[in-house]
Structure formats: C-alpha cells, structure tokens
C-alpha cells in the first residue's frame, strides 16, 4: 500500500458527461501529480500541484481541470467526456524533502466512457 488513495476505483459514464476523480496524497506530501494511461497515448503526465498551486502542466486537455485543496487532496475534473477519454487515471504524490526516487502512485481510477 503506497499510502495514496484514489476514489472511485471504477467509473462508467456516458459521452458528454462530467466526472470528478479524487486523490488523497500520502500524509505530509505536498506534491500531487496526475497521469493518464490509455491504449492510444500510453502513460502521460497531465498536471502537477504543489501545496495548492499549479506547478507544471503536461498534455492536459482544456476540457480537463484540476485543483488541490488546503487539506492537500486533489480533484481532477473531466468534462464533455468523449470515448477517447476512457483510460486509467493515476494520482501520485511526493514530498519536497523526499529522496528523488520517491513518487508514490495511487491504485488508479478506471474511467469508461460509453
């Protein structure tokens, strides 16, 4: 168990809908990263938050947004969903003072868009 929790584990929804994925980082970790794993694109970085502020952005669509709250949990919002958004979404966390290798992944949320 990495200590990173993600809810829900599975999500099935229809095209055009909006969903929210939730991530709770390990206790004390200030950085949260979101990754998308799809058959087409592989594993790619979406966005990073550090202590409530956006720190880095990757290949995140404009239909997607994220935020990190004062208690450090993060939410990834996906709107106007398309079939191609079906993927496994991972959250990872790390501590600013951690060794460089320590980036812990949550179990992922599997999103299916029908």
Does 104 engage in binding with other proteins (CB under 8 A)? yes
Of the candidate residues 24, 31, 68, 93, the single one contacting other proteins (CB under 8 A): 31
Span near other proteins by CB under 8 A; candidates 15-23, 65-73, 79-87, 103-111:
103-111
Please, what sign has the CA dihedral across residues 42, 84, 109, 80?
positive
Query: Strands 31-38 and 19-24: what pairing?
Result: unpaired
**What is the four-CA torsion angle of 19, 59, 39, 105, rounded to 10 degrees?**
-70
Contact 31, 94 (CB under 8 A): yes
25 is a site residue for other proteins (CB under 8 A): no
Task: State the residues that interact with other proteins by CB under 8 A.
Answer: 2, 31, 33, 35, 42-45, 48, 55-56, 58, 88, 90, 92, 94, 100-101, 103-105, 107-108, 110
């Amino acid at each position: 168990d990495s200590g990173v929790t993600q809810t829900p584990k599975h999500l099935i929804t229809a095209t055009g809908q909006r969903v929210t994925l939730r991530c709770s980082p390990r206790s004390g970790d200030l950085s949260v990263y979101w990754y998308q794993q799809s058959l087409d694109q592989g594993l790619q970085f979406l966005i990073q938050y550090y202590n409530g502020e956006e720190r880095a952005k990757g290949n995140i669509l404009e239909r997607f947004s994220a935020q990190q709250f004062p208690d450090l949990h993060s939410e990834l919002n996906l709107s106007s969903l398309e079939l191609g958004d079906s993927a496994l979404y991972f959250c990872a966390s790390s501590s600013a003072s951690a060794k460089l290798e320590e980036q812990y992944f949550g179990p992922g949320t599997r999103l299916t868009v029908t």
